[in-house]
């Protein structure tokens, strides 16, 4: 354990000291050169450290502080991440079933174990930096959409033989949409910041669609939708894409790997990869369901998930897109009403703006749902 300075502004000497201090506690090679804050994700704090090797070459590593407000038990998170990265790496080595050669690896602490704990209880871990890759917040073309869906399907495939009971729940009821809805009702009833009146339209929109929240849960109860080891945060910027070839290399952000539904993963891809608008876009006319992107997602997913996916799952691919989009809309709305206590925000009403893009996309999906289902059937037929 060691004291760590508080994270600060980019290029600040304190930032350099923070990354050096944390970096040197992991079994990374080389001498610390410089550190940078990686500004991505709504949850954890992420830094990149560059280290000079004995031969003069540079090597980068990622250092991440787990958000304890969100992940109440970071040790459970680390248990899952260790289990999954080891499983995938063993398998990639054994069967060479990799997506371009790079996989996510944890680097151990010098003191042993997979993480470093600071004096204020912060839990840090270190990953290899996936070189030569980019991430996209908004998909630019169908090739990227296809690749992203193939990557998440491959991820599910790679962990499909991992015992579901060996993976623990890092956030209970994470995609229990009915409970997410109930929580919105509770927060709206309490209305701690008097924000409900101004978001009545969004609140009513969700209430009118309450029925949707039960559909997949009923599928689980009926034994039609199996619990699998799933990623649960398949937003498009969680896939590393090779900058030169546009091919997916691997998926990142394994904190929410938990027992879940394959449909949660596919649905979140639809949410994040079919619209050309940013998640926090204020001009809602830019929020669109781009059918070619949806078709590419279905193709990429079915090309990698066909070994395990069942008919009920396939029938609900379009629905899952609508549901996951609404679920995240519900979560942003809840957080807005509650006073922005969960997601990182960078401006007033940030969560509300995010909520609005999600609900607009739900509307767009509703307008295209029959067409989307027809696309699923068509793509599935061509792959049988």
Residues making contact with ligand GN1 (CB under 6 A): 41-43, 70, 233, 235, 238, 253, 256, 279, 328
Q: Tell me which residues in 5-44 interact with Mg ion (CB under 5 A).
A: none
Q: State in angstroms the smallest separation of the CB of 257 from Mg ion.
A: 11
Q: Which of 37, 118, 233, 265 binds Mg ion (CB under 5 A)?
A: 233
In the bound state with ligand GN1, the residue whose beta carbon lies nearer, of 299 and 328, is: 328
Q: State in angstroms the smallest separation of the CB of 354 from ligand GN1.
A: 7
Q: State in angstroms the smallest separation of the CB of 70 from Mg ion.
A: 9
Stretch that binds Mg ion, among 62-70, 248-256, 268-276, 353-361 (CB under 5 A): 248-256
Stretch that binds Mg ion, among 16-24, 109-117, 253-261, 265-273 (CB under 5 A): 253-261
User: What residue 328 binds from Mg ion, ligand GN1, none (CB within 5 to 8 A, per partner kind)?
Assistant: ligand GN1
Q: In whole angstroms, what is the distance from residue 173 CA to residue 178 CA?
A: 9
Q: Are 101 and 167 in contact (CB under 8 A)?
A: no
Residue 256: what are its φ and ψ, rounded to 5°? -105, 15
Stretch that binds Mg ion, among 67-75, 245-253, 314-322, 329-337 (CB under 5 A): 245-253
Q: In whole angstroms, what is the distance from residue 209 CA to residue 219 CA?
A: 18
In the bound state with ligand GN1, the residue whose beta carbon lies nearer, of 299 and 323, is: 323
Stretch that binds Mg ion, among 120-128, 182-190, 252-260, 338-346 (CB under 5 A): 252-260
In the bound state with Mg ion, the residue whose beta carbon lies nearer, of 171 and 224, is: 171
User: What residue 329 binds from Mg ion, ligand GN1, none (CB within 5 to 8 A, per partner kind)?
Assistant: none
Q: Are 268 and 234 in contact (CB under 8 A)?
A: yes
User: What residue 175 binds from ligand GN1, Mg ion, none (CB within 5 to 8 A, per partner kind)?
Assistant: none
Q: To which residue do tokens 């995010």 refer? A: 354
Token pair belonging to 191: 């209305």
- Residue 233's nearest CA partner among 343, 340, 369 is 343
Q: In terms of residues, how long is the chain?
A: 384
Strand ranges across the sheet with 248-251: 133-134, 239-242, 248-251
User: What residue 70 binds from ligand GN1, Mg ion, none (CB within 5 to 8 A, per partner kind)?
Assistant: ligand GN1
In the bound state with ligand GN1, the residue whose beta carbon lies nearer, of 40 and 141, is: 40
User: What residue 320 binds from Mg ion, ligand GN1, none (CB within 5 to 8 A, per partner kind)?
Assistant: none
Q: State in angstroms the smallest separation of the CB of 3 from ligand GN1.
A: 27
Q: To which residue do tokens 């994270």 refer? A: 7
Q: Are 289 and 269 in contact (CB under 8 A)?
A: no
- The residues that touch Mg ion, with contacts defined as CB under 5 A, are 233, 253
């Amino acid at each position: 354990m060691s004291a760590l300075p508080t994270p600060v502004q980019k290029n600040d000497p304190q930032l350099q000291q923070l990354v050096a201090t944390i970096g040197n506690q992991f079994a990374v090679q080389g001498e610390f050169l410089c550190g940078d804050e990686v500004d991505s994700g709504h949850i954890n704090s992420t830094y990149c450290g560059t280290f000079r090797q004995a031969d003069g070459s540079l090597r980068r590593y990622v250092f991440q502080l787990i958000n304890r407000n969100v992940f109440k038990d970071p040790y459970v998170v680390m248990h899952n991440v260790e289990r999954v990265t080891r499983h995938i790496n063993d398998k990639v080595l054994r069967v060479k079933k990799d997506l371009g050669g790079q996989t996510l690896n944890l680097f151990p602490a010098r003191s042993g174990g997979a993480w470093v704990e600071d004096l204020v209880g912060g839990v840090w871990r270190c990953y290899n930096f996936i070189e030569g890759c980019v991430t996209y917040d908004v998909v630019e073309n169908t090739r990227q959409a296809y690749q992203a869906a193939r990557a998440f399907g491959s991820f599910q495939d790679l962990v499909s033989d991992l015992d579901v009971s060996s993976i623990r729940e890092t956030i209970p009821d994470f995609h229990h949409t009915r409970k997410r809805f109930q929580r919105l009702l509770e927060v709206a009833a309490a209305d701690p910041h008097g924000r409900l009146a101004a978001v009545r339209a969004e609140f009513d929109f969700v209430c009118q669609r309450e029925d949707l929240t039960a559909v997949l849960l009923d599928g689980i109860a009926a034994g039609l939708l199996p619990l699998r080891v799933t990623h649960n945060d398949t937003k498009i910027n969680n896939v590393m894409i090779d900058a030169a070839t546009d091919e997916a290399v691997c998926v990142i952000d394994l904190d929410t790997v938990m027992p879940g539904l394959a449909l949660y993963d596919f649905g979140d891809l639809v949410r994040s990869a079919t619209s050309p608008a940013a998640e926090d876009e204020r001009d809602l006319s830019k929020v669109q369901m781009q059918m070619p992107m949806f078709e590419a997602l279905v193709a990429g997913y079915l090309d990698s998930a066909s070994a395990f996916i069942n008919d009920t799952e396939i029938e609900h691919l379009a629905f899952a897109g609508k549901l996951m989009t609404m679920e995240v809309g519900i979560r942003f709305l809840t957080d807005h009403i509650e006073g922005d206590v969960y997601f990182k925000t960078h401006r007033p009403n940030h969560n509300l703006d995010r909520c609005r893009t999600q609900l607009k996309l739900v509307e767009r999906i509703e307008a295209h749902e029959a067409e989307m289902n027809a696309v699923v059937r068509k793509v599935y037929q061509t792959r049988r």
